[in-house]
Amino acid sequence: MKVKILIISLFSILNIHSQSIFTTKGESINYRINSKTSTTETSQKLDSILNLSIDGTTIHSKQVYNYDSSNNLLREYKYIHNFGGEIWYPLLGNDYQYNNENYLTQKIFSEHNIPEYKYEYIYDTSDILNQEIKYLWNGSVCVFFLDSYYNYNNGLLSNKVVFSWDSNSSNWNLSTKHFYSYNANNYLTEHVIKTWNESTNDWINQEKKIYEYDATNNLILFLQYEWDDTSWSNFLKSEYIFDVNDNIESLIQYEWNNSNDYWHPTFKAYDFIHDNSISITNIEYPYYIPTGHKLNQYTAYYWDNNSMEWIPDYDAMFYYNPTENLSNQNQPLERPYIFPNPTSDIAFISGLELNDSVFIEIFDNMGRKIIKQKINNQRIRTAEFNAGLYLYILYYNNKSVIGKLIII
């Protein structure tokens, strides 16, 4: 089975099909397993996600994705500004290795560019993933941490057994067991985690996750419970709403308040902007996004307990690059762009009509906004800019596109 990397970002609970499983990896990474490589040729791939302040003056953080010539994800990393806001500071990320058949064989999870965990993936003779070994990075060496074995039934993952390493006895001991259930359409509906009790030699409930879908198999409800020794207790909830094009419109997340017995809202993603002219099948994402078409932007909100209302937190902007495997690499993408690039005194915008209303925002490499203005005659004066790398966002026809501009 081909391993496809998935990242927990906005969408921590994903739409999972019969040939996919969903398991937490490290502190921030998830993956799914596909039985075969997609044969759909993609025209774009996700390059980065920029999280901008609501007033648009500062880029708080960014996620950057690097690929190999086969469009396998090689590296993903999240960066934030340091306290002075002058440099990008690496927060956390992953590095990946693949075999000659493009199957994932290794992942290294790092925090602040320091390796924390290493994962190795082992397949059987039918290329089905059957073992995953997790190591704890101890200085310059790796030591055993967890060993997981996957079991399948009729092509679906039925359970996963996890062993933990006992360094004192140098033995693997039973740790947890994961059980998976599916609906008639082979979508995951329940994931139960149990821990091994050595005293009773039995599996004890620990955690349960429930997934519900709409008529077109979009995930609309996620519930997570924890075992309190006698029954399942509410813990987390996520609610999803989709439009008629199967694009996500909103996501609201809650935590259970035991003191007052109610779901307390914590996070909301709203104001999604999609490009319905580009299907999701034409885009290479390093993780699954529950949308039918290209996602350009959304706004994140947090719940203010004092005012009892949603407060805008940041805007997430998605930036894409052409993939390496275009069916016709001589055909440019149908989106506006700036040329010449690099430039010195003046630049032009290609791909738009002269009467289109266009606004541009330009940020320096520290994430600070340099200009925001309406563009006349599709030209931009850049003579007053210092030499260097800049980020620009073009707003046109209720759409937006992000790009990089080099001033020489």
Residue 329 belongs to what H/E stretch?
A: none
What is d(CA 108, CA 114) in angstroms, rounded to the nearest whole number? 10
What's the N-to-C CA distance of the chain in angstroms?
A: 47
Query: For the segment 281-290, what is each residue's pLDDT rounded down to a tens digit?
Result: 888 887 777 8
Q: In what order do the strands lie in the sheet with 29-34?
A: 2-7, 29-34, 23-25
Q: Give the separation between CA 222 and CA 213, rounded to whole angstroms.
A: 9
| CB-neighbour burial class of residue 211 (10 A; exposed 0-12, middle 13-18, buried 19+) | buried
Question: Count of CB atoms within 10 A of residue 392's CB?
Answer: 21
pLDDT of residue 40: 44
pLDDT of residue 227: 97
Q: Identify the pLDDT of residue 363.
A: 83
Say what the pLDDT of residue 7 is.
Answer: 32
CA distances (Å), origin 271, targets 158, 192, 251, 321: 37, 33, 10, 23
- The ranges of the chain with pLDDT < 70 are 1-42, 56-57, 81-87, 322-335, 353-356, 366, 377
The pLDDT of residue 151 is: 95
**Other CB atoms within 10 Å distance of the CB of residue 29:** 21
The span from the CA of 258 to the CA of 268, in Å, is 21
CB-based contacts of 374, cutoff 8 Å, min separation 6: 357, 358, 359
CATH classification code of 2-322: 2.40.160
Task: For domain 337-407, give the fold.
Answer: Immunoglobulin-like (2.60.40)
Q: What is the pLDDT of residue 322?
A: 66
Query: What DSSP line would sit under 147-185, residue for residue?
Result: EEEEEEETTEEEEEEEEEEETTTTEEEEEEEEEEEE-TT
Distances (CA, A) of 25 to 7, 107, 108, 291: 9, 10, 11, 23
Report domain extents, the chain: 2-322, 337-407
What is d(CA 237, CA 142) in angstroms, rounded to the nearest whole number?
Answer: 36
List all residues 6 or more positions away from 287 whose beta carbon is below 8 Å from its beta carbon. 5, 6, 7, 9, 11, 14, 30
Please state, rounded to an integer, the average pLDDT across all residues of the chain.
81
Pair of tokens at residue 313: 């937190």
